[in-house]
């Protein structure tokens, strides 16, 4: 259950209750005036305790820390050059893979020109086959860091393994956990022990609750800097799109959790000419930002060329995305 105390709660009551729950024994989590007691649906409060309580929520989701019931305010993630969450709209762009020092620098300039404050790019690639390009590894991270620093951008990049965490800490502002690793629990626990912001992608067959419970693995380790990415899910129909973009997940997630929700139209559709319309739809869904793949020579991209926007298309798309966001902000309610 989640206990919402009155704003001016007496600390002594809070501490005494914590001790009582610990004796049952039950695990207790506290944020401000909210106390969550794991696996407890009922408790006989004394009159004095009851008078300190505003509300008791008995149907508590398993993802307590991520739940809006426990933490009503939006989480805002602050990076050196970006703010992510709430009513902000953050653009993240770059190639699928870091291909070379020169290429990532060129793509960073395009990304920045389109209003991106984060540079994306993979140095460790979770490819469907082991024979496809696997990424440049640490060298790729270094290239990305340099490209971003030259332009005053932040870096978001994927790691696939818990052993990559110390290396990522040296180079990236946001650790991306890919769709295929959404339930890699040792990786989730490892990033949960850091304070590095984490962008967790929804798994190919992950339900909304699966995603929130995966995020809880990160939060329960002490890292609350989490954003969630809707990147399309597998459904029965992948004839024309790589995945099915579940845009309803955006407002649903925003209702359930305080974490920023980001959309990824590139992986959702898998075809460059479908990216812009879905980017507009993603913006209209109310997401706090977008991550998109770009490439100046998609036919020769090391990965995901088919869904990568050429610079011109990207620049037009982001112009419209920001205009749409501005229009939405002007709506009275
Ligand atoms: C990527 O961002 O390039 C990527 C591999 O994404 P996903 O994990 O969503 O497939
Ligand atoms: Mn990709």
Least confident range of 10-14, 22-26, 306-310: 10-14
Query: Closest by alpha carbon to 315, among 151, 146, 109?
Result: 109
How far apart are alpha carbons 181 and 161 in whole angstroms? 9
**From atom 10 of ligand 1, which residue's Cα is the shortest distance away?**
179
CA of 83 to the centre of ligand 1 (A): 22
Query: Closest by alpha carbon to 180, among 161, 156, 157, 155?
Result: 161
- When pLDDT is averaged across residues 118-144 and rounded to a whole number, the result is 95
Ranges of beta strands (E only) in the chain are 2-5, 28-31, 34-37, 53-57, 77-78, 83-84, 90-94, 116-120, 154-158, 174-177, 198-201, 226-230, 261-263, 289-293
pLDDT of 126 strictly over 90: no
CA of 158 to the centre of ligand 1 (A): 8
pLDDT digits (tens, 9 = 90+) for 248-270: 999 999 999 999 999 999 999 99
Q: Residue 9's pLDDT is what?
A: 83
Task: Copy the structure tokens of residue 316.
Answer: 């037009």
Beta carbon of 206 within 6 Å of any ligand 1 atom: no
- Report pTM: 0.96
How far apart are alpha carbons 185 and 162 in whole angstroms? 10
**From atom 6 of ligand 1, which residue's Cα is the shortest distance away?**
178
Cα→Cα distances 184→129, 145, 147, 213, Å: 19, 26, 30, 12
- The answer, yes or no, to whether the previous bond of 25 is cis (omega within 30 of 0) is yes
Strand order in the sheet with 2-5: 28-31, 34-37, 2-5, 53-57
pLDDT of 285 strictly over 90: yes
**From atom 9 of ligand 1, which residue's Cα is the shortest distance away?**
179
* pLDDT tier at 191, thresholds 50, 70, 90: very high
Task: Copy the structure tokens of residue 162.
Answer: 């818990």
pLDDT digits (tens, 9 = 90+) for 45-96: 999 999 999 999 998 899 999 999 999 999 999 999 999 998 999 999 999 9
Beta carbon of 126 within 6 Å of any ligand 1 atom: yes
How far apart are alpha carbons 23 and 142 in whole angstroms? 50
Q: Residue 90's pLDDT is what?
A: 98
């Amino acid at each position: 259950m989640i206990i919402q105390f009155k704003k001016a709660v007496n600390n002594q009551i809070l501490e005494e209750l914590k001790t009582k729950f610990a004796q049952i024994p039950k695990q207790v989590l506290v944020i401000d005036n909210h106390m969550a007691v794991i696996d407890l649906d009922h408790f006989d409060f004394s009159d004095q305790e009851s008078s300190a309580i505003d509300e008791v929520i008995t149907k508590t989701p398993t993802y307590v820390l991520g739940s809006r019931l426990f933490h009503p305010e939006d989480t805002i993630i602050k990076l050196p050059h970006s703010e992510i969450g709430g009513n902000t709209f953050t653009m993240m762009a770059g190639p699928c893979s870091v291909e070379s020092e020169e290429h990532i620098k060129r793509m960073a300039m395009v990304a920045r020109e389109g209003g991106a404050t984060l540079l994306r790019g993979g140095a460790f690639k979770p490819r469907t086959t082991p024979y496809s390009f696997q990424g440049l590894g640490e060298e790729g991270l270094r290239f990305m860091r340099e490209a971003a620093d030259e332009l005053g951008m932040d870096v978001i990049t994927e790691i696939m393994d818990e052993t990559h965490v110390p290396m990522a800490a040296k180079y990236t502002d946001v650790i991306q956990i890919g769709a295929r690793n959404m339930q890699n629990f040792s990786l989730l626990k490892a990033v949960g022990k850091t304070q590095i912001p984490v962008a967790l992608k929804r798994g190919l067959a992950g339900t909304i609750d699966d995603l929130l419970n995966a995020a809880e693995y990160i939060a329960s380790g002490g890292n609350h800097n989490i954003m969630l990415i809707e990147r399309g899910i597998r459904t029965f129909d992948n004839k024309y799109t790589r995945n099915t973009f579940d845009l309803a997940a955006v407002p649903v997630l925003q209702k359930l959790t305080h974490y920023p929700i980001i959309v990824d139209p590139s992986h959702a559709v898998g075809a460059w000419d479908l990216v812009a319309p879905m980017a507009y739809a993603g913006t209209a869904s109310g997401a706090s930002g977008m991550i998109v793949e770009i490439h100046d020579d998609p036919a020769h991209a090391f990965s995901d060329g088919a869904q990568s926007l050429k610079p011109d298309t990207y620049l037009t798309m982001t112009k419209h995305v920001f205009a749409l966001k501005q229009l939405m902000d002007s709506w009275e309610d």
